[in-house]
Structure 1
């Protein structure tokens, strides 16, 4: 199995590999809190240039930690992005590559997935929010608790997570009815905070995964904050945001979804501030790693207007694109005991790198199925960071059998290939961009660099593996 993994890494273009796993420079295993936003654009945070909305607590992660400029999600939509994060497999090899029937996207129970890695290291593990890889109230592989989580609190399914006012919440595999008008996001964040507090008091190292649905549509927010932002942007009161959550779940329409977005972001930012303050109160702040990212780029659903918010800054595209706006994500890492405050890093990285990073931090071997490389040297400011030769992406539009778009990042160069109407039948010519000079992917240089295009096309062909049909 080890030789199989090594061959996979070499074929994927790894330049260097760590000779052995090492524990971080601390006698006590660090706690880990990974907060995953949903459909948040690079430009939606103050530390990445947002001007109309303040996010002081999320920005604090950048001020007191490391801000990455070239980090990529696992895909341009929810389920496959989470699958890459959980498995450490790159987007051309992971078991799902587009949204659809999420129970068919259940993780392989034979894999050492992210929560199982922490569980094996003696951590308490909890997930709080939107799972996206199966129905959370069912027994079996679709349930997050089948993969190493001790606790789960959140939505029953990804589709139901389209409303913040569902009829039920699932806690530890059991569905509990909610009173009408209950804003589930606040319950979930309270459960996450309780998990952190309980394990800190018990002096138990913990992994707290918070895949919040914010700011995915519908653009629901607590009423008081929503009314506050309606007064700021009353000109949008005639705009109604509509979004469905499936049979049996009412999804209230949103009057002024512009205000709704601002309100839900302020609410999340306040809650993250509460978590950071709690870490200080509990005396675990220095040795707790807090990470923040998004599962893909900004969306254009439910009345959300990314142009108004400049959600992608200079980047092109949005959710369901493989242009930078669809897959480049904010990535912030704060670890006061080890990470230099205010650091900015342009190392190219992606979701598949998180699993090997935490394997190294917890002193474990990197799981066999993993394609990523540990980011620990970068986090610690050390020069021996392994660098993949390239990062590959592919996306399958719903109900298609093969990729409908693909892309490859190699140094400053980015190749993108789309298909007509995103159907995966007739492919358009490969586009080529120099991201250092052209981060907005405005100037296609393919015609003047035919040999480079040919090289990148060959690498994309090599990185793709046929997708097995789900049972």
Structure 2
């Protein structure tokens, strides 16, 4: 009996200490945000003309979401939604604006990086901020919002080129040698941040908002030449894009090949990232997430029709249809997420903040109206669901409403506003689609469901 009691006590001691160790070993978190990557641009989502084997590993070794949505149909408001956890009807930024008027974050909010800092994490952001001039002091600067480190473009406009004249590192603008492919410079800083965080034995949040595959189709020369040989039929095409005052955005011969080269390069770097996590001994306790800020684009000579960038979805960037809003979303966390799983749970960017709060044991910030999908990551059946998802997109000098959308169960409602250059235009008719059998939003069935249309009209009016 004496030995039996000792055995029980010893077993309890082991259990308690392993539980304690688990509770004191919070996961590292890496969030990779691509720019204008379409729902169909990854081979794990059906892309046939290029292969993304390393990005596909995130799906094969983790969870692939089929019903995940970006924060908006353009860059800045989508990023504001991600950082604040507020849906597009509540977030302060509803559309892209010139750099000098960009909607900076509210420094009094518990935004995503501040949530991590409150939990004792070291934090870094590497890439395109999209919420102000990163060398300015105050609320435009990522460092103001609890990022310990930032390396990236000075502004959203300058991020149209991968050969800028300068870069911003921790609030200071640094001149670059001519011909520096800035994406690689930024990624190396991100990898070094991970290395240093592990050496310091600190949990980290690494946010990588890469500009690939947005704007100018700039890719490393060797890869671009490789893809030009694959796609010589497009060699007569020249891609052009602007990059803001004083910046040069070199034209691209065969931007179709440029896109393929950009995607291969990014995929290679995701492979390097996963190898680094293994080398540092942190792969099992690191949550890696991968998504896109909105649907595919037509800019810089990119041809989303050739690449079938949005797969079965209708529309592209700046549209309120699924092709402008639905985003790829992958999550890999070997200690928690079952390998090779898929979820059709409808989720969106405003859910990331409460999900992270749940994961790192922090209070859900007051401003967010998102929900935690941590149960879905863990494969649990209990999962709170949205009553509906809402988006609105504003554009122009005075930020006129250009479109609104609601997803209510399998129903998707879209309202487009006619172009108006000098006054607020009135909304068009509500379009209604049944996504359960019309994913491409080809058949407007609003006339067949007048009661539902009236309900949606009332819901939309609450956001006026």
In the superposition, the TM-score normalised over structure 1's length comes to: 0.92
Deviation, 1:398, is: 2.2
Q: Are positions 1:162 and 2:137 aligned together?
A: no
Query: Which position in structure 2 is the counterpart of 1:250?
Result: 248
Query: How many residues are matched?
Result: 442
Q: Does 1:459 align with 2:435?
A: no
Specify which of 371, 383, 386 is matched with residue 384 of structure 2. 386
Is the aligned partner of 1:46 residue 2:47?
A: no
TM-score, scaled to structure 2: 0.94
1:278 aligns with 2:276: yes
Offset at residue 150 of structure 1 (A): 0.1
Query: Which runs of structure 2 are paired with 1:46-125 in the superposition (5 Å)?
Result: 46-102=43-99, 103-125=101-123
CA contact (8 A) 1:24 1:362 kept: no
Contact 2:238/2:253 (<8 A) preserved? yes
Shift of 1:388: 1.1
Matching residue of 1:403 = 401
Aligned residue in 2 for 1:425: 425
Q: Which has the larger radius of gyration?
A: 2
The gaps in structure 2 that reach 5 residues or longer are 1-19
Aligned twin of 2:410: 412
CA-to-aligned-CA distance 1:67-124 (integer Å, 9 cap, x gap): 0000000000000000000000000110011001344401001100000000110000
C-alpha contact 2:132 2:140 (8 A) present in aligned 1: yes
The alpha-carbon distance between structure 1 residues 422 and 55, as it changes in their structure 2 partners (threshold 3 A), is farther
Q: Secondary structure at the match of 2:412?
A: strand
Question: 2:114 aligns to what SS in structure 1?
Answer: helix
CA displacement, residues 283-317 of structure 1 (integer Å, 9 cap, x when unaligned)? 10000000000000000011100000000000000
Question: For residue 449 of structure 1, what is the aligned residue in structure 2?
Answer: 449
Contact 2:96 2:102 in 1 (8 A): no
Deviation track 1:174-218 (CA, whole Å, cap 9, x = no partner) reads: 000000000000000000000011111221100000000000010
* Matches of 1:186 and 1:329, distance apart in 2: 24
**Structure 1 CA distance for aligned equivalents of residues 319 and 106 of structure 2:** 27
Asked whether the 8 Å contact 1:64–1:336 carries over to 2, the reply is: yes
CA displacement, residues 50-76 of structure 1 (integer Å, 9 cap, x when unaligned): 001000010000000000000000000
Partner in structure 1 of residue 229 of structure 2: 231
Work out whether residues 404 and 422 of structure 1, in 8 Å CA contact, stay in contact via their aligned partners in 2.
no
CA deviation map 1:425-444 (0-9, x unaligned): 03211000000100000000
Deviation (angstroms), 1:420: 1.4
Q: Is the 8 A contact 1:360 1:374 kept in 2?
A: yes
* Preserved CA contact (<8 Å) 2:255 2:300: yes
Note the C-alpha offset of 1:248.
Answer: 0.2
Deviation at 1:422?
6.7
Aligned position for 1:153: 151
What is the alpha-carbon distance in structure 2 between the residues aligned to residue 438 and residue 25 of structure 1? 45
Instruction: State the alpha-carbon separation in 1 of the partners of residues 53 and 22 from structure 2.
Output: 29
Q: 1:445-466, CA deviations, whole angstroms, 9 ceiling, x for partnerless residues? A: 000001011111211222x26x
Do the aligned residues in 1 keep the contact of 2:223 with 2:261 (CA within 8 Å)?
yes
Is the 1:405–1:422 Cα contact (8 Å) retained in structure 2? Answer: no
Which moves more between the two structures, 393-402 or 226-235? 393-402
In structure 2, the residue corresponding to 1:406 is in which secondary structure? Answer: strand
Structure 1: 5+ residue runs without aligned partners?
Answer: 1-22, 466-471
* Distance apart, 1:24 and its partner CA: 12
Give the whole-Å Cα distance in 1 for the aligned partners of 2:117 and 2:320.
34
Q: 1:336 to 1:404 in 2, by over 3 A?
A: same
In structure 1, the partner of 2:195 is 197
Q: Could you say which residue in structure 1 is the equivalent of 2:439? A: 439
Q: CA deviation at 1:25?
A: 6.6
**Alignment of structure 1 residues 283-322 onto 2, 5 Å:** 283-322=281-320
Match of 2:32 in 1: 35
Give the distance between the partners of 2:420 and 2:144, measured in 1 at CA: 34
